[in-house]
Structure 1
Amino acid sequence: MTQASTPAATVAAATGPRAAPRSARLRTRGGGLINLLYLPAVLLFVVFTVYPLLSGVGFSFTDWDGYSPDRAFVALQNYLRLFQDDTFRLVLLNTFGYGIGSTVLQQLLGLALAVALDRPFRGRSAARAIIYLPVLVSPVIMGTMYYLLFQYNQGAFNDIVVLFGGARVAWLSDQTAAVAIIMVVNSLQFVGISMIIYLAGLQAIPTSYYEAAMLDGAGAWQRFTAITLPLLQPAFATSIVLNLIGGLKLFDVIKVMTGGGPGYTTNSVSTLIGVTYFENQSAGYASAMGIVLFIIIAIFTLALNALLNRRRLEQQ
């Protein structure tokens, strides 16, 4: 014996399953359209980032010269050769110097400028624009300008030294001096990025925090160390990672100012890759250098992010 159907059940059976609401259908259709709009960016990323990276990994296991169709597989020989190469070890130290040195300088200068320019005064906007302006200039132009300033015979700095009775200095012929100069030039060009990041962080800090600290008798330095620095942790993370990546892959300024010389003494890994690939016609070996540089940048970036995130969580 079957149970009698209710009127509601009869109506439901007659009309079939209830149609999805119009708003839900629109959301589903809109989500599909948004995903479709991502496609060009994904394709560009695959073509210009993923494919070159995978190709570089493949080339690093060959002795390809960069031109011929012959690509003999040599397994890990290129990587083993790297760690036995005195030139590569020197260049790797230079690269760490450019990356870490430039990053430290840019953080110190950028934070100092941000604190100074966060206070209202006449001409503040113009000062911010002037400091940020070098970021918009090509590194080649910036490097050429400083190369002319540091030239041995006609450089402005040597003219000043001679004016005060000193002897001309071969600024760019000494490895230590040249590496330091390149580091400073790179820092001065991109310090505007750090300044803007720190300015944004400073302006996000509520003024009530400083007012409460002043009521408690905290001085300027105490307010800076107890309020400003802890609350700038996200800005520190962003600025340090961006500056470090830029410093580790430094290329243009070195190429213009010293060409990597004298010898190979001021090269970074990026400039040495160009020399190895195009001048020495050793594309496989150059690819191995590129992969090592990629791994180094990835390790530094992940480690810094983990460290800064942990410190931020501890302070919360």
Structure 2
Amino acid sequence: MVTLTDARGRAGTGAPSTARARSPYPHWFYLPAAAIYGVLFIVPTVTSFWFSLTRWSVFDSTFVGLENFVTFFREPALVKGLTNTLIYGVVTSGAKVVLGMALALLLTSQIAARGWLRSVVFFPVLVSTIGVGLTFTVLMNPERGLINQSLAVLGIDGPGWLTDPSWALLSVALVDVWKGVGLATIIYIAGIVSIPAEYFEAAKVDGAGAWARFRNIILPLARPATATVIILSLIGGLRSFDLIWAMTRGGPGFTSDVIASVIYKQYQAGFYGLSTAGNVVLFLLVTAIVFPLSRWLNRREVEM
């Protein structure tokens, strides 16, 4: 008689496993991806770390150790860019999470023209970032912009969205949220529609209201979507450059500079080693924030 233990032993050590262990194909299949990853990521990353320790040009380089990093953190404009990067990343990612969830709840309810509204919400994601930046630069003009002209009709004196130091960074962040919230909404919609309908039916039978269904069903079961939106939005916010450069070029002064725009300005000025050190700082910043956050969110997801 074959026991359950024997059957499990045969299943774990039988011929299929032996054939699979001897097959060379799974190992060879990794090589193309590994080669591409090494050439496009590992080599440039290691090279960047080396050049961040040098004062280099196209033709030569001089090893200076950590001097570039010391200079980076001593420059007020560079430290301001680091602070703005953190503010920008937190504001944009937080707004996308909240608005994405709210729009997803609306667009998964029984409303008219639901499919068309989903397309409208997602459309800004498809538009060129530079095009969006240039368009909103015109719309936010303090004197001739449509936004301030519309506010003037209501008797409101609109601010200098991109010219006032206290508004510039926030204004660009709002445009970033407008452009990127569609992707967050689509991710949340996918998370919500994947929840089994039986949970909502049971909640209705128990007399649960809309808030109770959201708090006890949608919010916990859509946690994978929330984790995805947070990670993607935070990475995008910390690495943002093109929208800020198209709208303010880091101005007025250095008030809306982020690390990426500071790096670009240093490179334009010929400080290649310093700009490379800034790239390394940005890489380490994103890794230090996103990696532990991702592990924490995934662990919370497993515990749920």
Q: With structure 1 as the length reference, what TM-score do the two structures score? A: 0.85
User: Structure 1 residue 301 and structure 2 residue 301: aligned?
Assistant: no
Classify the secondary structure of the residue corresponding to 1:107: helix
The amino acid across from 1:230 in the alignment is P
- Give the match for residue 205 of structure 1: 195
Following the alignment from structure 1 to structure 2, what is the Cα–Cα distance between the partners of residues 167 and 232?
Answer: 41
Instruction: Give the structure with higher Rg (CA).
Output: 1
Superposed CA offset, 1:118-155 (max 9, x none): 12333111111111111111110111111110113321
| TM-superposed deviation, 1:190 | 0.8
Compared CA separation, residues 56 and 214, structure 1 to 2 (3 A): same
The aligned residue for residue 255 of structure 1 is 245
Cross-structure match for 1:63 = 55
> Do 1:237 and 1:304's aligned partners in 2 also have CA atoms closer than 8 Å?
no
1:152 paired to 2:142: yes
Task: Report the 3-state secondary structure (helix = DSSP H, G, I; strand = E; otherwise coil) of the residue aligned with 1:63.
Answer: strand
Alignment partner of 1:115 out of 105, 109, 118 = 105
Q: In the alignment, does 2:181 pair up with 1:191?
A: yes
Residue 281 of structure 2 corresponds to residue 292 of structure 1: yes
SS of equivalent to 1:285: helix
Displacement of 1:267 in angstroms is: 1.1
Q: SS of the counterpart of 1:72? A: strand
Counterpart of 1:18 in structure 2 is none
Q: Which residue of 2 aligns with 1:312?
A: 301
The 3 A distance-change label for structure 1 pair 26 and 87 is: closer
**Kept after mapping to 2: 8 A contact 1:261/1:267:** yes
When normalised by structure 2's length, the TM-score is: 0.88
- 2:74 pairs with 1:88: no
Identify if the C-alpha distance between structure 1 residues 265 and 224 changes in structure 2 by more than 3 Å, giving closer, same or farther. same
Q: Are 2:165 and 2:255, in contact at CA under 8 Å, matched by a contact in 1?
A: yes
**What CA distance in whole angstroms lies between the structure 2 residues aligned with 1:168 and 1:306?**
43
Match of 1:52 in 2: 44
* Distance in 2 separating the partners of 1:22 and 1:98: 53
Of residues 23, 27, 34, the one that matches 1:42 is: 34
8 Å CA contact 1:144–1:257 kept in 2: the answer is: yes
- Partners of 1:225 and 1:164 in 2: how far apart? 38
Task: State the alpha-carbon separation in 2 of the partners of residues 42 and 246 from structure 1.
Answer: 25
Report the Cα distance in structure 2 between the residues aligned to 1:164 and 1:299, rounded to whole angstroms.
46
**What code does the residue aligned with 2:38 have?**
V
Structure 1 residues 165 and 25: alpha-carbon distance in aligned structure 2, compared to 1, 3 A threshold: closer
Which residue of structure 2 aligns with residue 175 of structure 1?
165
Q: 1:282 aligns with which of 266, 271, 283?
A: 271
SS in 1 for 2:54: coil
Return closer, same or farther for 1:169/1:220 CA change in 2, 3 Å cut-off.
closer
Query: Following the alignment from structure 1 to structure 2, what is the Cα–Cα distance between the partners of residues 83 and 103?
Result: 26
How many percent identity over aligned positions? 36
